[in-house]
Amino acid sequence: MKRRLAGAGSFRGRLRGIRIGVTIRHTQRRPLARYADKFNRYTSLQADEQWLKPYWVLVLHLLFAFPFDFIKSYFFKRHFTGGIYGFVLAVSHAYSRFLKSAKMLEKYLQKSVERSC
């Protein structure tokens, strides 16, 4: 068994069939501002790099995808086990998907304006 101190009161390492009496806690809660910055960077990159979806697909995604993405994140990715913090992360995830579609729609509208000029 190898273990190293990973944080206050938690251990990280390998156990090979050995049961130990140490409570292992996984507490990786990062500030929400970090998630917001990450989502903003990723959505901008995704909107620039992905192929442009048709206008009607983007509009439908803006209107209806937020609740489905929230349900997927909150229930199927088990964010409900994180309490209010898990709820906030599920809403943030759904918002990031919404933001990506909004940025793609903005890109689509800019291209249509450039074509008309």
pLDDT at residue 48 tops 80: yes
Query: Which residue has better confidence, 72 or 52?
Result: 72
Decide if pLDDT at 36 tops 70: yes
* Cα distance between residue 77 and residue 90, in whole Å: 9
Helices and strands, counts by H and E, the chain: 3, 2
Mean pLDDT of all residues in the chain? 82
Helix 83-116 / helix 55-71 crossing angle, nearest 10 deg:
180
The residue ranges of every structural domain in the chain are 30-116
Bridge partners (DSSP) listed for residue 5:
11
pLDDT at 91: 93
If one compares 28 and 5, the residue with the highest pLDDT of the two is 28
Is the pLDDT assigned to residue 88 strictly greater than 60? yes
